């Protein structure tokens, strides 16, 4: 059973860059897609983007200009960087393993989530 | 941008059938999945590819998708099914994952 664990600072200042890492255990990061999804308190889910084990990426059109994802297969980790953050980026951030084929997708395993607050 | 619309809340009595809808333009031409999220927990996939159940998900959960509406059906609803439910689809035209706004299911 694959397990995912998010890590990173819980507090980020406005205009700075949010950085999170997801560590995958119980399975290889290879041959899968890996996504980041966030959820503001009391609100719904928002997809941020995905990365394949080869390093290819797809980002949400609404966040594309501020998002960078990377993968380190040697450490079984993938990462998220979100630049120029504002209070609107305050949310619980989840990493997830995704099944994706071009015409459909689903998120089959999720991390426990990590709260990131943007505040000075 | 593509949007998925869910009712904010649905109520059901224990043992009865709950139906949660998700509407979108020609949604039946896309594949839909559903997630259950209990307070303070991560979402759990309960239906994928319109009507498939992941291993470990009870048979009382089923899904359908046709026209402009996808439906999650919970037969013989139990108290433990009380949660928020989110539909989700992949919009290939915008290369974007789209989530519905979520439905709070109350079992009373």
Percent of chain B with pLDDT over 90: 95
Position A101 scores a pLDDT of 85
pLDDT in tens, A6-52: 999 999 999 999 999 999 999 999 989 999 999 999 999 999 999 99
Position B19 scores a pLDDT of 98
Helix (H, G, I), strand (E, B) or coil at B70: strand
Residue A78 has phi, psi (to 5 degrees) of -135, 160
pLDDT at A56 over 90: yes
Say which of A60, A102, A107 has its CB closest to residue B96. A60
> Is the Cβ of B96 closer than 8 Å to some Cβ of chain A?
yes
CA distance A27 to A4: 10
For residue A118, the tally of other CB atoms under 10 A from its CB is: 19
Min Cα–Cα distance to chain A from B96, Å:
6
Position A44 scores a pLDDT of 97
Looking at beta carbons, which residues of chain B come within 8 Å of A61? 1, 94-96
pLDDT in tens, A59-106: 999 999 999 999 999 999 999 999 999 999 999 999 999 998 878 899
The sign of the torsion formed by the CA atoms of A83, B89, A35, B44 equals positive
The sign of the torsion formed by the CA atoms of A26, A30, A32, A35 equals positive
pLDDT confidence bin for B80, thresholds 50/70/90: very high
Check if the beta carbon of residue A114 is closer than 8 Å to that of residue A10: yes
Expressed in percent and rounded to 5, the helix, strand and coil fractions of chain B are 5, 50, 45
List the 15-54 stretch of A: residues with Cβ below 8 A of B. 35, 44-47
Identify the bridge partners of residue B11 per DSSP, sorted by sequence position: B106
Q: Could you say which DSSP state residue A16 is in?
A: S
Mean pLDDT of B80-88: 98
Position A49 scores a pLDDT of 97
Position A102 scores a pLDDT of 78
Looking at beta carbons, which residues of chain B come within 8 Å of A108? 45, 48, 54
Check if the beta carbon of residue A40 is closer than 8 Å to that of residue A90: yes
pLDDT confidence bin for B94, thresholds 50/70/90: confident
Phi-psi region of B80 (alpha: psi -120 to 50; beta: other; left: phi over 0): alpha
Q: Could you say which DSSP state residue B55 is in?
A: T
pLDDT in tens, A2-12: 999 999 999 99
């Amino acid at each position: 059973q694959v397990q995912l664990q998010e890590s990173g600072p819980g507090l980020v200042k406005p205009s700075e860059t949010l950085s999170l890492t997801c560590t995958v255990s119980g399975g290889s990061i290879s041959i899968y897609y890996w996504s980041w999804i966030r959820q503001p308190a009391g609100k719904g889910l928002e997809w941020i983007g995905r990365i394949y084990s080869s390093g290819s990426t797809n980002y949400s059109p609404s966040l594309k200009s501020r998002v960078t994802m990377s993968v380190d297969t040697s450490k079984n980790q993938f990462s998220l960087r979100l630049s120029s953050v504002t209070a609107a980026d305050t949310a619980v951030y989840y990493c997830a393993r995704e099944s994706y084929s071009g015409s459909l997708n689903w998120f089959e395993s999720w991390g426990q989530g990590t709260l990131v607050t943007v505040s000075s | 941008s593509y949007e998925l619309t869910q009712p904010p809340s649905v109520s059901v009595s224990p043992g009865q059938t709950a139906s949660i809808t998700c509407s979108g333009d020609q949604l039946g031409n896309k594949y839909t999945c559903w997630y259950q999220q209990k307070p303070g927990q991560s979402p759990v996939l309960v239906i994928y590819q319109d009507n498939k159940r992941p291993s470990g998900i009870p048979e009382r959960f089923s899904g359908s998708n046709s026209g402009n509406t996808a439906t999650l059906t919970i037969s013989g609803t139990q108290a433990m099914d009380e949660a928020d439910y989110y539909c989700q689809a992949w919009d290939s035209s915008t290369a974007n994952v789209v989530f519905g706004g979520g439905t709070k299911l109350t079992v009373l």
